[in-house]
Amino acid sequence: MGDGVVDERGRLRVMTLNALAPGHADWPHRREVLRERIAAVDPDVLALQEVRAQDVADLAGPGRSVVAHRATSDDGVGAVLTSRWPLRPVREVDLHVDDRVGLPWSAAVLAEVEVPGPVGPVLLVHHKPTWELGRALERELQAVRCARAVEEELAGRGRAAPRHVVLLGDLDDPPESASVRFLTGRQSLHGTSVAYRDAWEVTWPDAPGHTFTPANPLVRAGEMPTELGRRIDYVLVRCGAHGPSLEVARCFRVLDAAVGGVWASDHFGVVADLRLPAHPPGSWAPAASQPGLRWI
């Protein structure tokens, strides 16, 4: 499951990572590990949280297209979406749904990228809800606001809308939470429903896949030392009526072990390789492509 599994490429490789703000835990050494492992994974799309704008080119590599959340914390820390191909900002959705949301850069950023080859245009959604325990209501409201913004964008563009939507980021809620259950189509919230396919669940249905865990010494040393372990970092693919428009070829964690004695962050990263399905959802496959199947 770890970051040794990075050699095979899908049509679109996406990665999300909360990098832990530079003000914590020996940033100079962590930065070197982050830079080396991101380069090794070589994601086409990379969503970074808890980063400063001046560190993005160093961490992700030069020449990448960048779309940042507009607001940052007082120390300049925020969230950034990067791509090897040009990104076109679409909109930013303010996620300050009530006065209990204190994170300045709590927002969902929508940006479009033209992926070469058969995949084509993809709408990327970099979602960052509020993080605190006891804020399930806010994360529910934020998930609904984000999802509605995506549906409005697609509906407003009609036939010109991208076929594919990939939502990724540090969602600060585990799979059993209402906000993630809503996003993955297991329940409705506030009068609406959507469905996104969870890349980790596709690949590892029986593995907890914790990305914020006391197995990481930086979690034990940080502000939440009694943390029990949760999977809170995700790559999700939007579903149409018959399933996701991109299938998950593989999904794995990265930076889930120390490198030379250095833990890169208090979160583990998540990488997913996405590709067009050989049999597009919503269609019947020709009998000739199905061994043992004959139409009568």
pLDDT at 269 over 70: yes
Selected from 3.50.50.60, 3.60.10.10, 1.10.3720.10, 3.40.50.150, the CATH number assigned to the domain covering 14-278 reads 3.60.10.10
If you ran DSSP here, which 8-state letter would residue 259 be given? B
Could you read off the pLDDT of 203-231 as tens digits, one per residue? 999 999 999 999 999 999 999 999 999 99
Residue bearing the bigger pLDDT, 288 or 153: 153
pLDDT in the model for residue 8: 42
Q: Enter the tokens of residue 276.
A: 């067009």
Residue 163 tokens read as: 């076929």
Determine which of 29-33, 114-118, 262-266 has the lowest per-residue pLDDT on average.
114-118
Q: What percent of the chain has pLDDT over 70?
A: 93
Mean pLDDT taken over the chain: 93
The whole-angstrom separation of Cα 68 and Cα 49 is 10
Strand partners for 247: 275
Query: What residues contact 61, with CB distance under 8 A and at least 6 apart?
Result: 38, 39
pLDDT at 275 over 50: yes
- Provide the token pair at 106: 């709590």
Whose structure tokens read 């596709």? 202
d(CA 213, CA 14): 22
Per-residue pLDDT averaged across 2-12, rounded?
Answer: 52
pLDDT confidence of 296, banded at 50, 70, 90?
A: low
DSSP assignments along 177-241, one per residue: SHHHHHHTTS--BTTB---EEEHHHHH-TT----SB-TTSHHHHHSS-TT---B--EEEEEEEET
| Distances in whole angstroms, Cα of residue 105 to Cα of each of 8, 15, 72, 84, 156 | 34, 20, 5, 24, 26
Q: Sort strands 120-128 and 164-170 into parallel, antiparallel or unpaired.
A: parallel
Candidate from 93-107, 137-151, 271-285 with smallest mean pLDDT: 271-285
pLDDT at 12 over 50: yes
Label residue 7 by pLDDT band (50, 70, 90): very low
Choose the weakest-confidence range: 3-17, 73-87, 127-141, 211-225. 3-17
* Maximum Cα interatomic distance, the chain, rounded to a whole number of Å: 68
For the stretch 146-185, pLDDT in tens is: 999 999 999 999 988 889 999 999 999 999 999 999 999 9
Query: pLDDT tens-digit profile of 190-204?
Result: 999 999 999 999 999
Segment 235-245, tens digit of pLDDT? 999 999 999 99
The model's pTM: 0.93
Taking Cα atoms as reference points, which of 126, 169, 131 lies closest to residue 150? 126
**Tokens of residue 21, six digits:** 């703000």
Cβ–Cβ under 8 Å, residues 138 and 183: no
Q: How many residues does the chain have?
A: 296
Q: Is the Cβ–Cβ distance between 78 and 68 less than 8 Å? A: yes
Residue 236: predicted pLDDT: 98
Identify the pLDDT of residue 4.
42
Taking 60 as the threshold, does the pLDDT of residue 2 lie above it? no
Q: Nearest-CA neighbor of 94 among 48, 148, 51, 55? A: 148
